[in-house]
Amino acid sequence: MYKRICLIFLSALFFGNVIYARIVNQDEAYYLRLINQNNPLPDNYEPENMINIALYVRSTRSEIWMEERAGRSFIEMVNSMVLDGVEDMAAVSGFRDFSHQTTLFNRQVARHSYLSSEEAFRRAAMVVAPPGASEHQSGLAIDVSSSQVSFALSQRFENTDAFTWLLENAHKYGFIIRYPRDKTYITGIVYEPWHLRYVGVFHAERMVELGLVLEEYWETLEISSTLAITTTIESENRAEEENRDGLAERIRRFLSRF
* Between 23 and 32, CB nearer to Zn ion: 32
* Between 94 and 200, CB nearer to Zn ion: 94
Q: What is the closest distance, in whole angstroms, from the C-beta atom of residue 225 to Zn ion in the complex?
A: 26
Output DSSP code: residue 42.
P
Distance from C-alpha of 218 to C-alpha of 254, rounded to nearest angstrom: 13
Q: What is the closest distance, in whole angstroms, from the C-beta atom of residue 101 to Zn ion in the complex?
A: 11
* Between 8 and 133, CB nearer to Zn ion: 133
Angle at 202 between CA 201 and CA 206, to 5 degrees: 110
Measured over the CA atoms of residue 42, residue 43, residue 44 and residue 45, the dihedral's sign is positive
Count of residues in contact with Zn ion, rule CB under 5 A: 2
- Residue least distant from Zn ion (Cβ): 195
Stretch that binds Zn ion, among 14-22, 136-144, 180-188, 197-205 (CB under 5 A): 136-144
Q: What is the closest distance, in whole angstroms, from the C-beta atom of residue 226 to Zn ion in the complex?
A: 28
Stretch that binds Zn ion, among 21-29, 33-41, 59-67, 135-143 (CB under 5 A): 135-143
Output DSSP code: residue 59.
B
Number of other CB atoms surrounding residue 64 within 10 Å: 23
* Between 138 and 220, CB nearer to Zn ion: 138
* Between 143 and 158, CB nearer to Zn ion: 143
Q: How far apart are the first and last CA of the chain?
A: 18
Distance from C-alpha of 137 to C-alpha of 46, rounded to nearest angstrom: 7
Helix axes 98-110, 117-127, angle to 10 degrees: 120
Residue 33 near Zn ion by CB under 5 A: no
Of 143-172, which residues contact Zn ion (CB under 5 A)? Answer: 143
The distance from CA 244 to its chain's CA centroid, rounded to whole angstroms, is 23
* Between 61 and 238, CB nearer to Zn ion: 61
Is there a contact between 126 and 188 (Cβ–Cβ < 8 Å)?
yes
* Between 187 and 220, CB nearer to Zn ion: 187
Q: What is the closest distance, in whole angstroms, from the C-beta atom of residue 141 to Zn ion in the complex?
A: 5
Of 183-212, which residues contact Zn ion (CB under 5 A)? Answer: 195
Q: What is the closest distance, in whole angstroms, from the C-beta atom of residue 153 to Zn ion in the complex?
A: 7
Of 97-126, which residues contact Zn ion (CB under 5 A)? Answer: none
Distance from C-alpha of 77 to C-alpha of 71, rounded to nearest angstrom: 10
Is there a contact between 131 and 102 (Cβ–Cβ < 8 Å)?
yes
Q: What is the closest distance, in whole angstroms, from the C-beta atom of residue 140 to Zn ion in the complex?
A: 11
Q: What is the closest distance, in whole angstroms, from the C-beta atom of residue 240 to Zn ion in the complex?
A: 30
Distance from C-alpha of 44 to C-alpha of 47, rounded to nearest angstrom: 10
Distance from C-alpha of 81 to C-alpha of 79, rounded to nearest angstrom: 5
| Interface residues toward Zn ion, by CB under 5 A | 143, 195
